[in-house]
A and B are shown apart, each in its own frame.
Chain A
Amino acid sequence: MLIKAILSTTVKSDLDFRRVIKQRQILCFIIMILGIATAAFSFYFSTGQYALLSDFFSGFYFGVGTGLLVAGILAYINCRSLLKNEKKLHEKRLAETDERNKAISQKTLFMTSVVLIIILYIALIVSGLFSMMLFQTLLCIIGLYLLIFLISYAYFNKKL
């Protein structure tokens, strides 16, 4: 959804949107390659002399890789069908560039961020009772989150 939002910012006509959909097809290929690479990584490190992964991680990586591959293929098929059908392309453009939909996405992202940071804070406090490593990991995530927030704020403060 985020990538879609980024790629759709300059769309003003069906022709522009067609260009965006073509860019998305490239993105679909990247997702497919990432999926194949993840599945191959899982396969390579779970058999033969390099069998370093446990059954759980081997299955997990293979599942994620396969999921990415299938998602990439489905998204690619969807893009192709949009490029072949002008009416569908137009409807999709209206749905994605609609200002109310964009406002809903922004509010949803804001709400999600607030809830996420509260959950992370609670987890940080609780983790201190059990595991130092978990505490440090959560602290780093919160620190990174705040750093990204400040950088993004500074960027948009200059841009808008």
Chain B
Amino acid sequence: MQNRIQELRKEMRLTQSELADAVEVTRQTIISLESGKYKASLVLAHKIAQYFGLSIEEIFIFDLEEENLC
């Protein structure tokens, strides 16, 4: 699963720490999310989507093949 967190964060000129504080996680979690090492929970995905004013699907892009959904 890919995501647009880094892209959106840079557009808004936010630091990783600021985003982490806003969604109440550690900076390391944001780093791991951006690098694709860690998949966000539904609650965190919702918080991030709400913060950027977008839907979850607009931020988190499901790879149908990778998730075995096709």
Which A residues lie at the B interface, using CB under 8 A?
A: 94-95, 97-101, 103
Interface residue total, chain B, C-beta cutoff 8 A: 13
Most buried by B among A98, A99, A100: A100
Of listed A95, A99, A101, residue having the most chain B CB within 10 A? A99
Bound-complex Cα distance A98 to B26 (A): 6
Nearest B residue to A12, CB-CB? B24
- A101 and B26 contacting across the interface, CB-CB below 8 Å: yes
Task: Assess the A100–B38 pair: CB atoms within 8 A.
Answer: yes
Residues B26 and A94 in contact, CB atoms below 8 Å apart: yes
In the assembled complex, the CB of B24 is this many whole angstroms from the nearest CB of chain A, namely 6
Please name all residues of chain A whose beta carbon is closer than 8 Å to the beta carbon of B55 when the two chains form the complex.
none
B54 on the interface (CB 8 Å rule)? Answer: no
Contact in complex: A97, B38 (CB < 8 Å):
no
Does chain A have a CB within 8 A of B28?
Answer: yes
Complex: A94 Cα to B32 Cα, angstroms: 16
Interface string of B36-54 (1 = CB under 8 A from A): 0010110110000000000
Interface check B8, CB cutoff 8 A: no
